[in-house]
Structure 1
Amino acid sequence: MKVEWKGVMPAVTTKFNEDDTLDLIMFAKNIRAQIDAGVHGIVLGGSLGEASTLLAEEKNVLIRETVQLSEGKIPVVMTIAEQATKVAIAAASDAHENGADALMILPPMRYKSTDIETVQYFKDIASSTDLPIMIYNNPVDYKIEVTVDMFEELLELDNITAVKESTRDIINIGRLRNRFGERLSILTGVDPLALESLFMGADGWVAGLVCAFPEETVAIYELAKAGRPKEATEIYRWFLPLLELDISPQLVQNIKLAEVATGIGTETVRKPRLNLSGDERKRVLKVIEEGLKTRPILPDYKSF
C-alpha cells in the first residue's frame, strides 16, 4: 500500500481482558469505530502507552488483526521503540512480515544518544527495510530532539518521509516546512496543540483522544483542511479539556476511561499501570462527563 502521511491517525490503545490477555473483541470494536469515522491510518504500539508491556508475539497479533480489519483501506503503522539497534531492526522485520504498511520509529530508549548516534540509529533501521518511516520527535518525554539539521541527513534515505512532531514548539512546524517543503510530511502528535498545528501547515494528526471520540477528531481535521476554521475551532474548544487528558503520565488510564464512556473500550490496563482512583479518578470522570453533556452536533464532514 502507498502510504500517505496525512489525516487523522489514531494511536490506539491496547485492550486487555481481566486475565491480562489481549481483548481482541473490544479491540476490533474500537478499530471499526475509527474506520467508520473516517480516520486515515492506524498507529499501533504507542510508546507512551502500553506497548512496552507487550510481548513481541502480542504486537504481531495486533498487527495481523488490524490489517484484517482495515481491509487495505487505510495504512497500518507499527511503532518501533527499542533500546538496541539490532532489536529495533528485528522488530521492524516482524512488523513487515505480519503485514504492517509503515513504521513510526523513536530514538533509542533509555540511553540518551548523541545527535550522531541518533541519526545512525535511524539510518540503520531504515536501511534494513523498505517500509515507509515516520520519525517520532518528542524531546519532552524522551529527552532526545531530532533537529532540523538531523532531518537533513535522514531525508537522504528514501523511506524516511514523515515526522510525528511532538516538541510542543509550534514554530518547529514552520522551520521544518521552510527547510524541506513537501519533502517531509508533518503530523502533529500533541492533542491540545492539534488545530494550531494544522493551521501552521501540519499534514495530519497522530491523535490520542480520538480513541474515544473518533468522529469529532476527524471532523476537526476535515474542517480545518476544507478552509472552515470557525467551525473547526468551535468543536476544538469543546474538545480541549478532553484533549488535555492526553498530556499526562496516566494518559492511558484517562483515554481508556473515555473509551468506556463512549462505549468503544474498557478500563482494563496492564500492570504496573493501575486504574485511576480517588480524587484523580473523580477529576478525570468529571471532564469526560462534562464533555459528553455538551457534545457538539457535527457537520457532514465526510462529504467535504
Structure 2
Amino acid sequence: MSILWEGVMPAVTTKFTETDELDLKTFKLNINAQLEAGVHGIVLGGTLGEASTLTDEEKRILTRTTVEFVNGRVPVLINIAEQSTKGAIEAARKAKEDGASGLMVLPPMRYKSGDRETIEYFKAVANSTTLPIMVYNNPVDYKIEVTLDMFETLLNACPNIQAVKESTRDISNVTRIKNRFGDRLKILTGVDTLALESLLMGADGWVAGLVCAFPAETVAIYELQKAGRIKEAIEIYRWFLPLLELDINPKLVQNIKLAEVYTGLGTENVRPPRLPLHGKEREEVIRIIEEGIKNRPILPNYKELATV
C-alpha cells in the first residue's frame, strides 16, 4: 500500500492485561474506534505505545494483528527505535514480512550519534527496504536533530524517505521544510499542542496522541481546517488544549491511558517500571479529563468534508 502521508495517524497505545500480557481484545476495540472516526493511518510501537518495553515478538504480534484487523482500510506503520543499525535493518525486514505499509524511524537509541553517523544510519535502514519511511525528528526528547541539510542528503540518496514526524517544537520549521523541499518531504506534526498551528502553516498531517481517547474530535479538527472552516476547528482545538497538554508530559502514557478509561477505549494497565498514576498527580489528570468530557463539543458532520 502506498502512503499519502496526510491526515490523522494515531500513535496508538499498547494494551496490556492485568497479568502484563498483550490485551488484543481491548487493542482492537480502540483501533476500531479510530477507524470509525475516520483516521488516515495507524502508528504502532511508538513512545506512546511503550516501544522500549515491548519484546520483538510482541511488536510482530501487534503488527500482524493490526494489519489483519484494518484489512487495507488505512496504512499501518510500525516504529523502529533500535540501538544498532543491524537491529534497525532487521526490524525493517520483519515489518515488511508482517505486512506493515511503512515505517516510522527514530535515530539510534542510547548512543548520541553525530550528524554523519545519523545520516548513515537512516540511509542504511532506508536502502535495506522498499517500505516508505517517515523520519521521526524529535531532538527535545531524543537529543538528536535531523537538520534540513541532513534531510537534503537523505532525500537525494533514499527515495523511500518520504515524510518527517516534525517534533522540534519550532513552529517555523514547518515553513522552512516547505520552502526547502516542497512536497518531496511530507510533514506530519508530532506535537499535540502545536497541531492546529502546524496544519495551518502547511503540515500535511498529524501523528496524534490524545486521539487514542478522543478520535472524533481529533479528526474533526483536521478535516475542518483542511476544508477552510478554521473558526470551527479553532473552537474545538481550544476546548481540546488542556487535554492535549497531557501528551507533552513524562507521564504521557499513563495520562492518555487514563483518558482512554474515561472514554471507554482502554484500561490503565501499563508495563512496569511504569505504574498507573496515583495521589495528587492522578487527581489533577482526572480533573482535566472530567472537565473536558463535561464540556465535550458537539461536532459538525466532519466526515462529509473528507469526500468533498
Instruction: Say whether the fold is shared (TM-score over 0.5).
Output: yes
Aligned-partner SS, 1:265: coil
Aligned to 2:220: 219
Aligned to 2:230: 229
Deviation at 1:47, TM superposition (A): 2.8
Deviation per residue, 1:159-218 (Å, 9 max, x gap): 001000000000000000000001110000000000000000000000000000000000
Q: Is the 8 A contact 2:48 2:209 kept in 1?
A: no
How many Å separate the matches in 2 of 1:81 and 1:43?
13
Aligned to 2:168: 167
Aligned to 2:36: 36
Deviation at 1:69, TM superposition (A): 1.3
Higher mean C-alpha deviation, range 40-49 or range 229-238: 40-49
How many Å separate the matches in 2 of 1:213 and 1:53?
25
Q: Is the 8 A contact 1:49 1:251 kept in 2?
A: no
Aligned-partner SS, 1:176: helix
How many Å separate the matches in 2 of 1:60 and 1:48?
17
Q: Is the 8 A contact 1:8 1:218 kept in 2?
A: yes
Aligned-partner SS, 1:9: strand
Instruction: Give 5+ residue unaligned stretches, structure 2.
Output: none
How many Å separate the matches in 2 of 1:249 and 1:109?
18
How many Å separate the matches in 1 of 2:265 and 2:65?
17
TM-score (norm 2): 0.98
Deviation per residue, 1:33-79 (Å, 9 max, x gap): 00000000000001354111011010000001111111101000000
What letter is aligned with 2:131? Answer: L
How many Å separate the matches in 2 of 1:258 and 1:276?
12
How many Å separate the matches in 1 of 2:169 and 2:226?
21
Aligned to 1:130: 130
Deviation at 1:285, TM superposition (A): 0.4
What letter is aligned with 1:175? Answer: R
Instruction: Give 5+ residue unaligned stretches, structure 1.
Output: none
1:89 matched to 2:89? The reply is yes
Aligned to 2:287: 286
Deviation per residue, 1:66-107 (Å, 9 max, x gap): 111111010000000011000011111111100100000000
Aligned-partner SS, 2:246: helix
Q: Percent identity, please.
A: 71
What letter is aligned with 1:177? Answer: K
How many Å separate the matches in 2 of 1:234 and 1:15?
31
Deviation per residue, 1:220-250 (Å, 9 max, x gap): 0000100011000000000000000000110
How many Å separate the matches in 1 of 2:187 and 2:111?
26
How many Å separate the matches in 1 of 2:229 and 2:286?
31
How many Å separate the matches in 2 of 1:84 and 1:247?
27
Aligned-partner SS, 1:155: helix
Deviation at 1:2, TM superposition (A): 1.1
1:259 matched to 2:263? The reply is no
Aligned-partner SS, 2:245: helix
RMSD of aligned residue pairs (Cα, Å)? 0.6
TM-score (norm 1): 0.99
Aligned-partner SS, 1:46: coil
Aligned to 1:75: 75
Aligned to 1:12: 12
Q: Is the 8 A contact 2:210 2:247 kept in 1?
A: yes
Q: Is the 8 A contact 2:12 2:48 kept in 1?
A: no
How many Å separate the matches in 2 of 1:2 and 1:152?
22
Aligned to 2:251: 250
Deviation per residue, 1:136-156 (Å, 9 max, x gap): 000000000000110001112
What letter is aligned with 1:167? Answer: T
What letter is aligned with 1:176? Answer: I
How many Å separate the matches in 1 of 2:290 and 2:154?
44
How many Å separate the matches in 2 of 1:39 and 1:296?
19
